[in-house]
Structure formats: C-alpha cells, structure tokens
Structure 1
Amino acid sequence: MQIILHTGAHGTDNDKLLRCLLRNQQQFAARGVSVPGPARYRDLLDETLDAMQTAAPAPDARAVLMDALLDDGTADRMILSNAFFFGPLRFAIRDGEIYPDAPARVAHLQRLFPGDRVEMFMALRNPASLLPAVIGKIGPHRENGVLGDATPESLRWSGCLARIHEAAPDVSMTIWCNEDSPVLWAAIIREMAGLPPGEKIVGGFDLLSEIMTPEGMKLFRAHLQRRPRMSEPRKRRVMMAFLEKHAIEEKIEEELDMPGWTDAEVDELTRLYDSDIERIRTLPGVNFIAP
C-alpha cells in the first residue's frame, strides 16, 4: 500500500486541503484511494508517535492502525493529513531550526508501516511570515527559545528536508511553496491521489477563487471551457496571467507583524527563502512542484 502523509508549515492551507480531499472521498474510493476522516487517526497516531520516542512499535501496530483507518480493510493508497505530524506548534521552530523533530517523527511513521511505500506531501512557507506566525501563537515570551543564538536569516527549509531524508531515505517528499498553492491546488490533490494530470476533481479552483475577483473567475472558467484540452503547465500560466489582472490585493498580501523588522529585513529574508527553494529543487528524495 502507498501511505501518503500530508502536512504543512504552520499557517499553510492544511485544513482546506483536507476538506478538499474529503469532498473527493467517494470518487477516490472508486480508484482504490482511501481518505479516512481525521477523527479516526489523529489522536491514535499522536499517542503512538509519542510512545515510539522510548520504545519500538508493537508487532501488531500496523494492523491496529489499519483496523481503525479502513472500513473494509482494502485500499491501494491511503491519505493521512495532520498539521502536527512533526510535533506541536511550540516546537515548530527551536534553537534556529525549522521542525527539528521532523526527521525522527518521519522515521517513526515509516517504521509504523513496514512494507508500505510512504510518501510525504508538504507545503513550505516563507520564514518572513512563518516566524511571526509561530511566535504570535506561542507567545513573545518564548521567542528566545525559538531562535536561541540563531538569527531569522539562518532559518532554512533545505536543512530540515535534508535531515528528514537522512533519517528516512526511503520516504519520498513532494514539496511546494504555500505561496503558490492557489495555482497548484488541483495538481497537488491529483498527485496525492495518484490521478493522471488533467483529471477533474471537486474543488480544484477553491483557493484561486478566494484570491481572484468573481469577474476574473468567470472569465477564467470561460477561457478554459473554450480550450478543454489545455495542458497542465499551460493552465498554470493562464492562472498566473488572470491573477495579474484580477487578483484581490488584500487577499494576496501577507501581514508581517514582527516588532523591530524593517522592510529591508523582510526583503532579505524573502530573498534567502527564494535562494533556499532553488537548493531544495536539487535535494535527493524531493519532488518539487512549481507553477
């Protein structure tokens, strides 16, 4: 069986993606793809991962999980989504590292499913917006524990992903930038479900419709109807073109509320993030999706 683990940086569209998967649940089931509701597994998996910090999984751990996850016990592919696969939010950034517990937890997840092919899908987020969001949730009094002796400029997703690959080399990773999610949404869902490019899904333009004016979406859909055989790469370019003309500006601008930061510092963090993404594209075990 193929086990798809979906997560994403804090503040990415984790819940929206799960809702989209669940809307396609029946269609996917007909293709041998199971999308269990999160109530079935989130607490169970969290408890199992916590226990694996000090002990190996029980011999029947996989069977117990499958009993909880599958109604009839059959599926070729299963998608599990959890924003906290890498641990609680308070540990999202610690001592200047992004998700320092991720390598161990991915390795534990792989050991839970021996003999299965485990794949991870994950959205990244610009540290210039990730860091304020994390500190804003855990409280500014814990900021020193987040960065330690490091600086915001030292935060690198590539280091996190490289450590995951080292700890769990058989787990492939499909990665994208959350900033690109509206354009990539349908492609991400299809890859998770193992569907061919271009196959229709429910909600493929959900995020796009949130950041584009109603008039723009109407024109965009009419454009697609006139060109039913448009390739996926071409479709993404068309989305970008329509967004240039019809984007809702307040929906595409992120607020970066970090006391003491200047525009120049935010620009530098964004430049470093862009550079880091170029490195990520070349990392072993990574399939990077871009517009």
Structure 2
Amino acid sequence: MQVVYHLGAHATDEDSLVRCLARNPRVLEENGVVVPHPRRYRMVLRDTLLTLKGAEADIETSDAVLAAVTDKEDINRIIFSHEYFMCIPERVVTDKGFYAMVPGKLEPLANIFPDAEIEFHLAMINPATLIPALAQRDPERSYEDLMCGRDPRDLRWRTVVEGMVDAAQGHKVVVWCNEDAPLIWPEIMHSLSGIGDDVTLNGEQMILKTIMTEGGFRRYADYILNNPPKTLEQRRKVTMAFLDKFAKPEELEMDVALPGWDEAMIDEITALYEADIDAIAQMAGVDFIAP
C-alpha cells in the first residue's frame, strides 16, 4: 500500500486538491486510490501520533486507523492532506527558524504505516506572500510575535526541503511552487493520485476557473476543447497566454502592509525564494514538478 501525505504549505491549497480528486470516484475506485474526507482522518491521525509518540505502529494500530478513516477495503493508495501536518500557523516562524519543526514530523507520520510505501508532497510558497497571508489569518497577532525576531530574508525553503529529504529516509519527496499551480495543476493531481497522465481527471482546470474571469475561462475551455494541446509545453503556453489576458488581478496580488516591508524588501525576499527554487529543483531526493 502507498500512503501519501500532502503537507501544505499554509496558504497554498485550502483543501482544493483533495476536493478535485474526490470528483473522480470511478477512476479512483478503478485504481484502488482512496481520498478520505478530511473530517474522517485529521483527528484520528492526530490522536494516533500523540499515542505513538514517534514509535512505529503495530499492524493492529495501522489497520485500526484505516478502518476509522475509510470504508474501502481494497486500497492501493490512500491520500491524506492537511497543512497542520507541518505545524500550526503560529509555528511557521519560531526562534528556531522557518518551518523548523517540519523535518521532525516526517518519521512519525511514516510510522503510522511502517509497512507502507510513503510519499510526502509539498507546495512551497514565496515568503513574501506567506507572511502577509498568515498576518491576515490572525489580525490580532502582532508582527513581532509572528516573526519571532526573524528577518524575513532568513525564511529559506532550501533549508526546509534539505531537512525533509534527510528526514524522509528514502521516502519520496515531491515539491512544487504554489505560484506555478495554475500551469501544473493536472500534473499535481496525477502526482498526488498516482494515476497515469493518460487519464483525464475531473477538476484539472478548477484552479484556472477560480483565478480567471468567467468569460475568459469559457474562452479558454472552448479553445482547449477545440484545439487539444499535443504536449505539456503546448498546454502551458496556451494557459499562460489566457492567464496574461484574463486573470483576475485581485487573485494574483496581495496588499502588503507589514513593518519594514517596502518594494525593495519584497523583491529581495522573492529573489532569495527563486534562488532556493533553483537549488531545490536540482536537489537529490526531490521530485520537482516544474512548469
């Protein structure tokens, strides 16, 4: 059995991936892929982690977890998704660093199903977008408390992913950039589900529908229907052309009003993020989904 943990990150998904995959019940069943509703497993996994305290579960415990989270019996692959697998939002930045506790979460998650083939999937997000999003989630929290004294230029994904690869102990680590999601959403869905790219999944265009004008998305869908792209590169070029023309500006922009954050600061954070992406894409032990 394959067990997939989609870890987040915060402010990247809002359960969109599992909702899209759940729109494919026939294909999922044919392939033995189970996508439980998050309400069925999030407390179960949390309680199991607390009980095990990092130790490996015995077969009775693993079976009990499966019985609690799904009624399916023939399971080839099961997918769990929750940004809190990484940490609660209040601990994204701590005095120990950026997502410092994430590598330590991987082995306990894998140990719930010690006999399974484990995969960890993660969407990175530009810290220049993430920090304002976290501030908006908790407006009563001060900026100083949010950042724990850390310079925003110290929030580096390269360190996080390096730690994850080491902690994964050979388990698969799949990473992509949230900013690229509109261009690679089908690939993300197929990676998460393990279903071959030759199968079209419902929901492959969902994210585009949310960030394009209604008329623009209709034109895009009609164009794709009447002119099916022959390659991934061709599809991405078409998608980018329609996004350039029909994307909703409010979906692609975020007002930043944080102490000391001016345009130069944001550009510097973004440049460091892009440098980290380049390094992570070449990192051994990482499957990087690129546009």
User: Same fold per TM (> 0.5)?
Assistant: yes
Q: Are the equivalent residues in 1 in contact too, given 2:44–2:69 (CA < 8 A)?
A: no
Distance 1:198 1:234 in 2: 16
Distance 2:96 2:15 in 1: 26
CA-based RMSD: 2.0
Q: Are the equivalent residues in 1 in contact too, given 2:176–2:288 (CA < 8 A)?
A: yes
CA 1:25–1:92 in structure 2 vs 1: closer, same or farther (change >3 Å)? farther
Could you say which residue in structure 2 is the equivalent of 1:35? 35
Of 148-157 and 134-143, the range deviating more from structure 2:
134-143
Of 158-167 and 193-202, the range deviating more from structure 2:
193-202
Q: Are the equivalent residues in 2 in contact too, given 1:197–1:232 (CA < 8 A)?
A: no
Matched, 1:196 2:196: yes
Matched, 1:128 2:122: no
Distance 1:254 1:145 in 2: 21
Matched, 1:56 2:55: yes
Distance 1:201 1:170 in 2: 29
Distance 1:62 1:126 in 2: 36
CA shift for structure 1 position 148: 3.9
Of 33-42 and 136-145, the range deviating more from structure 2:
136-145
CA 1:25–1:142 in structure 2 vs 1: closer, same or farther (change >3 Å)? farther
Distance 2:159 2:126 in 1: 14
SS in 1 for 2:122: strand
Q: Are the equivalent residues in 2 in contact too, given 1:96–1:151 (CA < 8 A)?
A: no
CA 1:271–1:229 in structure 2 vs 1: closer, same or farther (change >3 Å)? closer
Map residues 124-163 of structure 1 onto 2, 5 A cutoff: 124-138=124-138, 143-144=143-144, 146-163=146-163
SS in 2 for 1:5: strand
CA deviation string 1:128-149 (max 9, x = no partner) = 1212222444566564455445
CA shift for structure 1 position 32: 1.0
Q: Which contiguous aligned blocks of 4+ residues in structure 1 show a shift greater than 4 angstroms?
A: 138-146
Map residues 31-110 of structure 1 onto 2, 5 A cutoff: 31-53=31-53, 56-59=55-58, 60-95=60-95, 97-110=97-110
SS in 1 for 2:287: strand
Letter in 2 for 1:124: M
User: Number of residues paired by the alignment?
Assistant: 290
SS in 2 for 1:14: coil
Identity between Structure 1 and Structure 2 (%): 34
Where does the alignment leave 5 or more consecutive residues of structure 1 unmatched? none
**TM-score, length-scaled by structure 2:** 0.92
Distance 1:216 1:158 in 2: 36
Of 231-240 and 136-145, the range deviating more from structure 2:
136-145
CA shift for structure 1 position 121: 1.3
**TM-score, length-scaled by structure 1:** 0.92
Q: Are the equivalent residues in 2 in contact too, given 1:93–1:147 (CA < 8 A)?
A: yes
Letter in 2 for 1:48: T
Could you say which residue in structure 2 is the equivalent of 1:181? 181
Q: Are the equivalent residues in 1 in contact too, given 2:7–2:82 (CA < 8 A)?
A: yes
